[in-house]
Structure 1
C-alpha cells in the first residue's frame, strides 16, 4: 500500500476531505491567466440570466486583463493552491470602487465572495465603497445587501434591465 492509498478511517468515503483554509493575497499581473479563467467561468451564469454572452467579463482578453491588473488593486482567494476567486478595485476621491468579483462556480456559496469583499474594504482608506450589478442578478444583490450595501442608484440599460449601484459606508460617522 502506498501513501496515496492511505485513507482517513474517521471519514466516510463519500465525505469530501477537509480542505485547506481560504488564503487571501494581493492580486498581480502574474495571476491574469487564472483570474481570466475563473472570471469567464463565473460569469457564464450571468450570461444565462441576461441571455447574452456579450458582456465585458466574458469578452475581455488576456492582454486587456494584464493591463488592468497593472493599474488596479485587487485580491485573490486560493484554496489548496487553486485560485477560486478574485476581486478588483480602485480608490478615487474617498470612494472604493469595487469591480469584478468572480468566484469559481463550484466554490460559489462558500463565503468566498463575502470574504473578498470584507478584505477589500479593510484594505481601503476610503469612506464609502460602491459596486454594481445587473438588476436581474438577484443572488448578487442579496449577497451585497447582506454585507451592508444599500441601493444607491439604478441606471436603465434600455433593454428593460438596469445597472444597480450599491454603496456601503466604511467609516463610522
Structure 2
C-alpha cells in the first residue's frame, strides 16, 4: 500500500482535507486521554491555512487523489520541530506515518542538527514509530490540559564521515 502513496508539499488548497484527516486521526488520542480539547482537535481551518502559507514545512501523503496523512516541521535555528503527524484511521499501521516522518526529515536535511517532537506519554504506537526512526525520549512534561507528554529528539551526526 505504501508504494501507492505519494508525499508532496501541501498547499493552502489542502487545508480542509488536512484538518479533516487530522481531526479523525487525533480522535483516538482524545479518547485515550479523555480530553476532547487536544490542540490538533481545536485547531481552526484558518490556523491550518496559516501554517500552509509558510514558513512551516507541510507535507501531504496521498493515495491516489485522497489525502491520507500530513506532517509539519518548523525550523528554529538548528532544530526542526516536527508536529501534527496525522494519518487517516483506516490507513494507520501501513507505513504512511513512517514515510511522512522520513519525508519531513529529508525536507529539513542540511538545515538542522536535530529533530524535536512530542507525543502523549501513553501513546505506545506513536512512541514505537518514533523509536524505530531513531528518536529518544529526553523528558516528560504536561500539556496545557494536564496530559503527560513524552518529549523526543533525534540528533543528527554532523561530524561527517569517519576515516
Structure 1 length as normaliser, TM-score? 0.84
Structure 1 CA distance for aligned equivalents of residues 88 and 144 of structure 2: 30
Runs of 4 or more above 6 Å deviation: none
2:156 aligns with 170
* Distance change (3 Å), C-alpha of 1:59 and 1:161: closer
Structure 2 CA distance for aligned equivalents of residues 110 and 19 of structure 1: 7
1:149 matched to 2:155? The reply is no
1:100 aligns with 84
Structure 2 CA distance for aligned equivalents of residues 79 and 101 of structure 1: 16
Structure 1 residue 82, shift from structure 2 partner: 0.5
Instruction: Name stretches of at least 5 consecutive residues in structure 2 with no aligned partner.
Output: none
Structure 1 residue 156, shift from structure 2 partner: 3.3
* Distance change (3 Å), C-alpha of 1:80 and 1:140: same
1:61 aligns with 44
> What RMSD in Å do the two structures reach over aligned CA positions?
1.8
Structure 1 residue 19, shift from structure 2 partner: 8.5
Structure 1 residue 171, shift from structure 2 partner: 3.1
1:32 matched to 2:15? The reply is yes
Query: Conserved in 1, the CA contact under 8 Å of 2:25 and 2:87?
Result: yes
CA deviations 1:78-134 (Å, max 9, x no partner) are 001110000011111110100110000000001011001111111112110111011
Matched ranges for 1:61-140 at <5 A? 61-71=44-54, 72-124=56-108, 125-140=111-126
Greater Cα shift, 73-82 or 152-161: 152-161
* Distance change (3 Å), C-alpha of 1:80 and 1:92: same
Secondary structure at 2:53 match in 1: helix
Task: Count the aligned residue pairs.
Answer: 156
Structure 2 CA distance for aligned equivalents of residues 55 and 114 of structure 1: 22
CA deviations 1:1-48 (Å, max 9, x no partner) are xxxxxxxxxxxxxxxxx7971111001111100000000000010011
Structure 1 residue 55, shift from structure 2 partner: 1.1
* Distance change (3 Å), C-alpha of 1:19 and 1:133: closer
Higher Rg:
1
